[in-house]
Structure 1
Amino acid sequence: MRGASVYALLSAAWMAPAAELAAQEYQFNSVVINGNERIGDSAIIARTGIRRGQTVSGGQLNDAYQALQDSGLFESVAIEPQGGTLVITVTELPTLNRVSFEGNRRIKDETLTQIVKSQERRVFNPTQAEADAAAIAEAYSNEGRLSARVEPRIIRRDQNRVDLVFEIFEGDNVEIERLSFVGNRVYSDRRLRRVLGTKQAGLFRRLVKRDTFVEGRVEADKQMLRDFYLSRGYVDMRTTAVNGELTEERDGYFVSYNITEGQQFRFGDVNVVSEMNGVNAAAYRDIIKVRPGVVYSPTLVENDIARIERQAIRDGVDFLRVEPRIDRNDRDLTLNVTYVISRGPRVFVERIDIEGNTTTLDRVIRREFDSVEGDPFNPREIRQAAERIRALGYFETAEVNAREGSSGEQVVVDVDVEEKPTGSLNFGGSFSSNDGIGVAISFAEQNFLGRGQRLSLTVSTAEDATRYGINFVEPRLLGRDLSFGLTLDYAETNSSYTSFDTNRLIFRPSLTFPLSENSRMQVRYTAEELEMLQRETPTNGLVIADDIAAGPQFTSSIGYTYTYDTRLTGLDPTSGVLLQFGQDFAGIGGDNEYIKTTAKVIGEKRILNEEVTLRATLEGGALAWRSGNNRVVDRFVLSPSVLRGFEPGGIGPRDIGGAADDPLGGNLYIAARFDVEFPLGLPEEYGISGGLFYDVGNLWDLSDVNYNGGTVVGESGSFRHVIGVSLFWDTPVGPLQFNFSKALKKEVFDKEQSFELTLRTEF
C-alpha cells in the first residue's frame, strides 16, 4: 500500500502477558511455525534456542522472542504456548524489489545510489532504510541545504516484495548572509573575507556554491586564516571561536570568527650551525635567503631548509637533517632562527605504494617524488611531494603517509588518491569591444589518457576574428622538470580597424625549464605562414597595397623567453616582481630575416593593510629587419592591453592615403602603465571595486619600408599620455574590467577609444 511508513513494519505481536509467562514453566513436545516462506523451520527453531522436551521458563520464552525479533528477518513475531505445543507465528520482511528517488534535482540518482546501502534483491531492512535517509540528508547538508528532508516510503508488490522510494524535499540553500570577524585590528573584514574558501552571498548567489554554509569547511577556513597571518609574521594568531547563527527564516547564516592577531614578528639573527661531523656550517650560510629585518614567515624557513638539504645531496652528504631552532625576543618583536645541521636516522625508502588511481598512471604520481626506492628517507621531501600531488588538480583527495617497512631501517610510503574528472567541454559566448560578439567551443583535458599531459582544442568565432587552436603540454618530459609544449593555431581576421583581412597559421614546439628558484627559460621554434588579403572594395593606401601584393609569407624562427618571478619564492607576500625578456631570430629558411626583441617588467605592491594595490608596468620592443618584406603584420601594433585609450593600432605610423586610414605599426615601441586599485565602499556582495590608471607610450620607426609615394604620418613617433578610471566586477563568468579613458596628449591622426570592456587579467 503506497504511503505506508517504514515504522509501520516494526509492529510486533506478543500473545501472552509477560507477568503470566514469568510465573510459569513450560515443556513443549512440538513446535509449530506459521507464516514463513523463505526461512526454514529448523533455522527459526535454532534461533529460539528451545529444544523439544526442554523445560523453559517464561523468561526463556521472552529471550526466544527477542532473538527472533532482533534477527532482522521478520516484520513481526508472535510466540504462544498452547499446551505441549509452542506456536511461533512470523511475518517475514519483504524482499527489496527496487530502490528509487523522487524529488531530487540537485543531486543525481547515480550519486545517491552510491550513498545508500539498501540493495535490491536483498531482505528489506527498515533500520537500514532510515539510516540511508539520514545519509542522503547529510549529503544535502554538505551542499548547504540544511532544511532538506528525506522520507523513506514503501510500495507493496506481490510475492512479498516492496519498492523503496526515498521522497526528497531538497529545500533551499542555507546561504551565508554575513561573514564577520571579531578581534581583527590590522586587517579589515573585507581583506580577511578574501582569504576564506567560504564566500559571502552575493548578487549571483544561485551560480556560486561557496556562499552556502557547510560545517566541514569551517576547519579549512580556520587554517587558511592561520596561514595568512603566519605568512605575515603574526605567529600568535589564533581563532578562539567560530559562531554560526541561523536566521529566523532558517535560510541563512551569520558566521563570525573570533580571532586574536597578536604582534607582528620579524627575523632577527639568522645563523647555521653544524652538529654533524665532517659538515662545515659556513658552506651553507651563503645559500640561505632569509635576512634580518624581513617579516617572519614559516614558508621562508621551509624554503631555506630545503635549499640546505638539496645542497647536501649535491655534496654527497646523506641523512642530513636541518632543525630550525627559534629564539623569541618579545622586546623587539624578533625571532632569531638557527638552522641546526645534524645527522638523521639511517632510514631508506623501501618502496612507494600507490592506490586509488584508476586512470592516472603510477609514473605520473611517482615523478612528483624526488626520492625513489633505495634513497635515504627525508620526511620533508615526502611532505613536499604530497603538496605537489595535490597541486596537480587530478584528485579529490591525496593522502601520503609513511610507515615502517620490512625492517626498522626501511620505510614504505603509501599514496592513497581519489580521482576526479579532469576534462571539460565548454560552450559559451564572448564579447570584446575590439573583436565584437562571438561564440566559443573548447575542449580541455588536464590529464590526457592519465599521463598528466594537457590537451586543449578551441574554436572561437567573433565578428572580426575566427580562431582554431590545438595546444598540447607534457609538463614532465622524460620525468624531469622539463615542459614540452606544442601549439598549432589557425586564425582569420576581418578587423573593422583595417582595410585588409589576414590568414595566419602557426606551428610552435617549445621547451621550458627552470634556471633557478625564481627563473625559467623557454626555447622555441616557430613556423608561421601569414597572408594579407584584399577585400572586395579596395580602399588601401599604397603601403598596404604593396604588403598585400607580397602574397603569403613564410617565416621560420627560433627564440627564447627568460622569466624571473619573485612570487614563486618571494620574501614578501604583499609584493612581487615579474621580469620577461625574449628574442626571436627569423631566417632559418623562409622568406624573412629579422631579430625581434621584447621586454617587460611588472611590479606590484599592496598597501594600507593590503586594501589598495599599486602596480607599475614597463614594456618595450625592437624589430631589426635584415631581409624580406617588412609588412605591417610583422611589426609591432599596439593594442589596448598595452596602451589604453586607443583602438587597436590606434597610435603610431599611419597610411592616410587610402579610405581606410590604415595603421602601419612600428619597429620600436615603449609603454608604461601605472594602476591603483581600491575598494569603493559598496556592499562587498556586489563584487565591485575601482581603480585609476595612467598610461604613456610611443610607437615609431618604419626603417626598411618603401613608402612608394604613399602618404605616411607619424613615422618619427611621439609620446601619448592617457588617464582613466576602471571598474572591476567579479561575476561567475569571470572578472570583468570596464575602462573609461581620456587621452591627455595625442596626435590628430590617432584613433581614440574612450571605453573598453575586457576580462580582467591578474598579475
Structure 2
Amino acid sequence: MALFEGLSSNRFTGFGRQAKALATSSGLAIFLATTSIYTATPQMASAQAYAFNKVEIEGTQRIEAATILSYLGIARGETISAAALNDGYQRLVGSGLFEDVKLLPRGNVLVVKVREYPTINVVSVEGNRKIKDEVFTPLLKSQPRHVFSPTNAELDVQTITEMYQQQGRLAARVTPKIIRRSNNRVDLVFEVAEGKNTEVERLSFVGNRKFSDARLRRVLGTKQAGLLRAIIQADTYTPDRIEFDKQVLQDFYRTRGYVDFKTTGVTSEFSRERDAFFITFKVQEGQQFSFGQITTTSEIEGVDAREFDAVHKLRSGVVYNPALVQNAIARLERLAIRKGLDFLRVEPRITRDDRNRRLDIDLVLVRGPRIIVERIDIEGNATTLDRVVRNQFRVVEGDPFNPREIREASERVRALGFFSDAQVEAREGSAADRVVIDVDVEEAPTGSLSLGGIYSLEKGFGLNLAFTERNFLGRGQYFSASFQNGNDDTSFSLKFAEPNFLDRDLEFGFEAYYQEATHSSANYDSRSIALRPSIAFPINEYTRLGLRVFADGAEISNVDAKSSQLLKNEAKRGRQIGGGVGFTLSYDTRRTGLDLDRGVLLTFNGDIGGIGADYQYVRATATAQAQTKVWNDQVTLSATVEGGVLAALNGGTSRVTDRFRLGPAKLRGFSTNGIGPRDLTAGNQDTVGGNYFAVARLEAQFPLGLPEEYGITGGVFADAGSLWGLDDTLGGVIDDSAHLRSSIGASIFWKTPVGPLRFNYSKVLAKEDYDEENNFELTISAEF
C-alpha cells in the first residue's frame, strides 16, 4: 500500500514559504485523491481506518524515536482514521525538525521515513562591502553547530535586507545558498547584491506660506542629494527618518506659535530610473498665536499663588512657545520644592482666543498623586558608571515622583553625548504608590585620537597629535592631551574636568599648558607655562560662577639686536613665575533643545596674578554675545562686544607676554600682532601688545540661492576695535594711543564632513600706516 507515499515534505529545497506551501499542498492533494478511490466503493470503506501494531522509523540520526511518536500521536493497536493519520503527518512536518517526511502504511506496520535537517557548518555573508561581517554575525539566528532551519534562514535574509534599507539601499538583494558537506552538514551562505544608495533627489513642501522650502529643509534630518552625496548619508531615503522628520517639523512650527500645525501627508515617488525618491511634505500651518493673559491660581489650601506668579517669567504678547511654558512649570515646581511643598503639580490650562490669536495661560497649582520613587534601574551601560547616569536625575529613591522631572532627566542623559540611544520610562513598583524608573542606554564612542598635519596661513604647516576622551574611564570626566609643533611654536596642553565633583553639580577642572614660541613679527623667543585648577557651579537657571587659582609665568629670550629697547628691557627681567586667583561669571540664556540659535551670552573674567613675581596685576575681560534670526529664520544676525584691562598693582610694568594682542579671530582684516602699540624707532618696528583692548563685531549670515544640500551660505561683517596702552612708552617714543581700526568683508560658509569651514575676504577701512593687514582667511567656523 502506498496510501501516504505522496505525503512528504521538503521545505529545505524550496527554501521559503512558497516551497513549504507547495510541498504541503502536494502531499494533501495526493492523499485526498488516493482516499477518494477507497471511498468510491463500499467494499473499500474499511480502508479509511487503520490499526498499527508496530511503527518502524527510518532515517533518524539525532532525534529520538520517542520524539517522533509523540508528534504522530499513535498508540499501538489503536484504530485511527486517515484524517487522524494525516494530522500526525502535519505535526511532524510542522515540528521544523525534518527536511523530508514520508508515512508508508504496510499492513499492521507503519513505516516513518524522515530526513533530518542538517547541522550548519559555516554561516557566511558574501558580497558585502558597506556593512562588515561583524555587524551581521550577532544578529543572525542561523549559527554554526546549530540545526539548519529554513524559517531562521528566511528571518536572516529579512534582517540583512533591513540593515541595508536603513542605509538607504532599497535595491539590496540577499540570496541564501546551501553548500552540502559530508555527515549531513551544510554551509549556509548569504549572497548580497548591495546595489546603490536610493537617494532623495528632491525635498519639497506644499502648503507652507510663512517659511520657504529652503528653511524647512534645514530643519529635517533627511537631505537632498548634493555634491557630497558620496560622503553624506543623510541624503539616502529611509522611511524611519521620514517619520522623525514629521515630528521635527511639527516641533519647529509649534515653537514659533503655530499651535494648529500638522503634516497632512507625505508622498514618496520613485524616479523613472528607480534610483531616487521625490519626497513632498503636505503641511497645514494654521495661524500664529501669542501669549495672552498669564495668571497663576492655587487649588491647594494655604498656598499663596502670588508667590508663584512672580517667578514664571511668561510675558503677554510674546509668540507662543510650549518650551517657555515648560520652563515656567519647572520654575514653579522648583519653588514648591524649596518651600517644602511635596507633590505639588502645575497644570497649564489654556484658553484660546481665536479672534485675537492669543492663548491665555492659567498656571494652576494642584495637589498631585502621592507617588514615591522606589528605585532607579540602569541597564546597557557597559562602560559608563551608574552614578554618571544617576547624576542627571534631580530625584533619588524615596523622593516624590514628578513626571516632568523624569522627562527632563531623560533629556539630560541624552545630552551627555555618551550614548547612541537612551530611553527613560516609569513603571509601577511594588505598590500602587511606588514607581520604578527604568533607564536603558546604549553606549557610543566618546574618544578620539588624531595624528596629522595642521596648516595656518600665517604659521604654515605643523604637526598635531591629540587625544580626547569625553567619558574618561566611564566616569563622565573630560580628558584631553595635545601636542603641536609648527614653524614658529611648540606647545603641549593637558585638560581634565570632573563635572560632578563630590557627586554634586560642581565641576572641578585642571589645566596645564607649556609653549615655546618664536615670534617672527617681534623677533624674540618666549617660554610660557601655566597651571590652573578650578571649580564651577550654578548660581541660578542662567548664571554660573567659576573660581580658580593658578600659577603662570614666562621667559623672554633671544631678542634681536634690532628689536625695541622695551623688549630688551623686559627680557633682562628673566624668568617670572607667579601665582594668583580668579573667577569667571557667565550668564547664558541660550536654550537647549529645538532652538539653539537665539539667546544672549555674557561672560566676565577677573584675575589677580603675579604674586611672587616682580609684577602684580589685575586682569579683567568681558564678552557679550547675542544672536537671533529674522526674515522667517532665513537670516542670522549676531553681535559681539569684547574688552579687556590689564593694570599694575605695585607700580610695576607689564611685559609683552602679559599684555593683550589682537589677531583676525577678534578683529578681521588684520594679522596676528598686526595692530597696537609699535616701536617705530626700532629696526624691526616690533609690535609690543597693549594693556587695553576693545572690539565690536557685527555679522549677518544668509542663503546664497544655491541648493541647500550643498551646505554653502554667505555672510557679511563689519568689525571695529583698538588695542592701546603701555606702562612704559620709552619716554613717548612708542605711540600707545587708542587709534580706531575697522574693516568690512564677506564670508563663505561651507558645512563639510571635517567641520564648518569659513572663508573671509576683508577690506580695511581705518588703520594706521604701520598696521599689517590679512585680507584672506580660511578657518573652522566658530559656533555660537
What band does the TM-score fall into relative to the shorter chain?
over 0.9
Contact 2:492/2:513, CA 8 A, preserved across alignment: yes
Aligned residue among 719, 722, 727 for 2:748: 727
Residue 564 of structure 1 pairs with residue 587 of structure 2? yes
Aligned to 2:771: 750
Aligned to 2:44: none
Distance 1:459 1:249 in 2: 51
Q: 1:9 to 1:291 in 2, by over 3 A?
A: closer
Distance 2:522 2:129 in 1: 51
Contact 2:591/2:598, CA 8 A, preserved across alignment: no
Structure 2 gap ranges (5+): 1-11, 39-46
Residue 70 of structure 1 pairs with residue 94 of structure 2? yes
Q: TM-score normalized by structure 2?
A: 0.92
Aligned to 1:142: 166
What is the SS of the residue equivalent to 1:655?
coil
Q: 1:94 to 1:616 in 2, by over 3 A?
A: same
Alignment of 1:620-659 (within 5 A): 620-627=643-650, 630-659=654-683
What is the SS of the residue equivalent to 2:612?
strand
Q: Deviations over 1:625-682 (max 9, x none)?
A: 2355621121011011111111101011113445543210011111111112111112
Aligned residue among 691, 698, 701 for 1:677: 701
Alignment of 1:186-201 (within 5 A): 186-201=210-225
Q: Deviations over 1:277-302 (max 9, x none)?
A: 00011111111211111111111111
Q: 1:171 to 1:380 in 2, by over 3 A?
A: same
Aligned to 1:407: 431
Residue 162 of structure 1 pairs with residue 176 of structure 2? no
Q: Deviations over 1:492-533 (max 9, x none)?
A: 333443312333222111111112211111111222232334
What is the SS of the residue equivalent to 1:89?
strand
Aligned to 2:389: 365
Deviation at 1:712, TM superposition (A): 5.0
Distance 2:641 2:476 in 1: 36
Aligned to 2:757: 736
Distance 1:640 1:712 in 2: 27
Aligned to 2:9: none
Structure 1 gap ranges (5+): none
Distance 2:432 2:370 in 1: 9
Between the aligned residues of both structures, percent identity stands at 51
Deviation at 1:752, TM superposition (A): 0.8
User: Comparing 312-321 with 35-44, which one deviates more in the overlay?
Assistant: 35-44
Contact 1:21/1:59, CA 8 A, preserved across alignment: no
Distance 2:571 2:586 in 1: 36
Alignment of 1:208-287 (within 5 A): 208-287=232-311
Alignment of 1:591-602 (within 5 A): 591-602=614-625
Aligned to 1:555: 578
What is the SS of the residue equivalent to 1:501?
strand
What is the SS of the residue equivalent to 1:63?
helix
Contact 2:349/2:362, CA 8 A, preserved across alignment: yes
What is the SS of the residue equivalent to 2:234?
helix
Contact 2:518/2:524, CA 8 A, preserved across alignment: yes
Counterpart of 2:411, as a letter, is E
Deviation at 1:581, TM superposition (A): 1.4
Contact 1:14/1:78, CA 8 A, preserved across alignment: no
Aligned to 1:702: 726
Counterpart of 1:716, as a letter, is S
Contact 2:223/2:709, CA 8 A, preserved across alignment: no
Distance 1:570 1:94 in 2: 55
Contact 1:476/1:483, CA 8 A, preserved across alignment: yes
Aligned to 2:33: 19
Aligned to 2:82: 58
Q: 1:469 to 1:257 in 2, by over 3 A?
A: same
Q: 1:519 to 1:630 in 2, by over 3 A?
A: same
Distance 1:210 1:438 in 2: 33
Distance 2:415 2:311 in 1: 27
User: Comparing 98-107 with 55-64, which one deviates more in the overlay?
Assistant: 55-64
Alignment of 1:112-131 (within 5 A): 112-131=136-155
Contact 1:4/1:154, CA 8 A, preserved across alignment: no
Deviation at 1:440, TM superposition (A): 2.8
What is the SS of the residue equivalent to 1:308?
helix
Counterpart of 1:171, as a letter, is G
Contact 1:99/1:165, CA 8 A, preserved across alignment: yes
Q: 1:17 to 1:259 in 2, by over 3 A?
A: closer
Distance 1:328 1:574 in 2: 29
Deviation at 1:573, TM superposition (A): 7.2
Residue 207 of structure 1 pairs with residue 231 of structure 2? yes
Aligned-residue Cα RMSD (Å) equals 2.4
Aligned to 1:377: 401
Distance 1:150 1:712 in 2: 82
Distance 2:520 2:32 in 1: 96
Q: Deviations over 1:10-42 (max 9, x none)?
A: 668969754224632333333332222222333
* Equivalent residue pairs, number: 757
Q: 1:686 to 1:43 in 2, by over 3 A?
A: closer
What is the SS of the residue equivalent to 2:71?
helix
Counterpart of 1:50, as a letter, is I
Contact 1:669/1:698, CA 8 A, preserved across alignment: yes
Alignment of 1:566-581 (within 5 A): 566-568=589-591, 575-581=598-604
Distance 1:346 1:444 in 2: 45
Counterpart of 2:758, as a letter, is Q
Distance 2:14 2:72 in 1: 29
Distance 2:396 2:117 in 1: 56
Contact 1:477/1:484, CA 8 A, preserved across alignment: yes
Distance 1:531 1:4 in 2: 83
Counterpart of 1:727, as a letter, is I
What is the SS of the residue equivalent to 1:485?
strand
Contact 1:5/1:154, CA 8 A, preserved across alignment: no
User: Comparing 153-162 with 500-509, which one deviates more in the overlay?
Assistant: 500-509
Q: 1:497 to 1:596 in 2, by over 3 A?
A: same
Counterpart of 2:602, as a letter, is L
Aligned to 2:512: 488
Deviation at 1:760, TM superposition (A): 0.6
Deviation at 1:349, TM superposition (A): 1.8
Residue 661 of structure 1 pairs with residue 685 of structure 2? yes
User: Comparing 35-44 with 614-623, which one deviates more in the overlay?
Assistant: 35-44
Distance 1:658 1:70 in 2: 98
Deviation at 1:740, TM superposition (A): 0.8
Residue 605 of structure 1 pairs with residue 634 of structure 2? no
Deviation at 1:116, TM superposition (A): 0.8
Counterpart of 2:640, as a letter, is T
Aligned to 2:450: 426
Counterpart of 2:161, as a letter, is A
What is the SS of the residue equivalent to 1:748?
coil
Aligned to 1:443: 467
Distance 2:370 2:76 in 1: 70
Counterpart of 1:607, as a letter, is V
What is the SS of the residue equivalent to 1:44?
helix
What is the SS of the residue equivalent to 2:782?
coil
What is the SS of the residue equivalent to 1:46?
helix
Q: 1:28 to 1:113 in 2, by over 3 A?
A: same
Q: 1:21 to 1:539 in 2, by over 3 A?
A: farther
Contact 1:433/1:758, CA 8 A, preserved across alignment: no
Deviation at 1:381, TM superposition (A): 1.3
Q: 1:658 to 1:435 in 2, by over 3 A?
A: same
Distance 2:487 2:170 in 1: 47
Aligned residue among 616, 634, 641 for 1:618: 641
Q: Deviations over 1:72-124 (max 9, x none)?
A: 11111122223333222221111011211212222222210121111221110
Distance 2:672 2:55 in 1: 97
Residue 133 of structure 1 pairs with residue 147 of structure 2? no
